[in-house]
């Protein structure tokens, strides 16, 4: 852009010089000196622009390499984030399944506790019946023994 502006300025200077003195092809010495000075300035600016252009190209190339490196790093991060999110979803599903299993097991435990209580009550009833039967058995044995003794006494 600067190059274009400088060239345009040089062109306008040469045109304006030619309009001041029509028909004069070679300007006087002072005018030539100023044109030479302008041409040197333009050349110097173009050289600076070229040197800066090289610096800018080197900087852009470095930035491109850095950009590629950062993209690779970001891809790695994205893969890690994706795998972590996938693992998180899997863990959440497993957690939900375990919660449901825990609820079911708690209900089963409560049911089993009720059954145990019922069995304990039934066990007490059966033990009481056994105790009653033992007592009855003892009574009957005593009665039988008494009857036998009485028979033996009667037969003697």
Q: State how far the Cα of 136 lies from the Cα of 7, in Å rounded to an integer.
A: 134
Q: How far apart are CA 96 and CA 92, in angstroms?
A: 6
Domain range for 66: 2-155
Dihedral angle over CA of 132, 135, 141, 147, nearest 10: -100
Which residues, 6 or more positions from 3, have their beta carbon under 8 angstroms from its beta carbon? 45, 46, 49
- Per-residue pLDDT of 13-53, as tens digits, reads 665 555 444 444 444 555 667 777 878 888 888 888 888 88
Residue scoring higher pLDDT (59 or 39)? 59
- For tokens 């970001």, name the residue: 74
Backbone dihedral region for residue 26 (phi beyond 0: left; psi -120 to 50: alpha; all else: beta): beta
Give the sign of the dihedral formed by CA 44, CA 47, CA 52, CA 55: negative
**Mean pLDDT, range 40-67, rounded to an integer:** 87
Quote the pTM value: 0.44
Helix (H, G, I), strand (E, B) or coil at 11: helix
pLDDT at site 30: 56
Q: Tell me, what's the pLDDT at 106?
A: 96
| Conformational region of residue 24, where left means phi above 0, alpha means psi within -120 to 50, and beta covers everything else | beta
- What is the number of structural domains in the chain? 1
| Per-residue model confidence as pLDDT tens digits over 88-137 | 999 999 999 999 999 999 999 999 999 999 999 999 999 999 999 999 99
pLDDT at 110: 96
| Segment holding 144, helix H or strand E | helix 29-155
**Per-residue pLDDT band at 59 (split at 50, 70, 90):** very high
In the DSSP assignment, the letter for residue 22 is T
- Report DSSP state, residue 21: S
């Amino acid at each position: 852009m600067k190059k274009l502006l400088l060239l345009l300025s040089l062109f306008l200077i040469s045109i304006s010089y030619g309009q001041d003195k029509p028909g004069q092809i070679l300007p006087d010495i002072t005018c030539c000196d100023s044109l030479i000075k302008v041409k040197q300035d333009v050349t110097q600016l173009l050289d600076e622009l070229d040197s800066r252009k090289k610096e800018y190209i080197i900087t852009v190339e470095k930035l491109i390499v850095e950009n590629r490196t950062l993209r690779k790093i970001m891809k790695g991060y994205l893969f890690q984030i994706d795998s972590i999110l996938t693992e998180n979803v899997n863990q959440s599903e497993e957690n939900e399944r375990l919660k449901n299993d825990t609820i079911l097991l708690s209900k089963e435990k409560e049911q089993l506790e009720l059954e145990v209580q019922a069995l304990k009550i039934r066990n007490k009833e059966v033990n009481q019946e056994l105790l009653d039967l033992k007592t009855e058995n003892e009574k009957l044995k005593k009665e039988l023994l008494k009857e036998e003794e009485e028979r033996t006494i009667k037969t003697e």
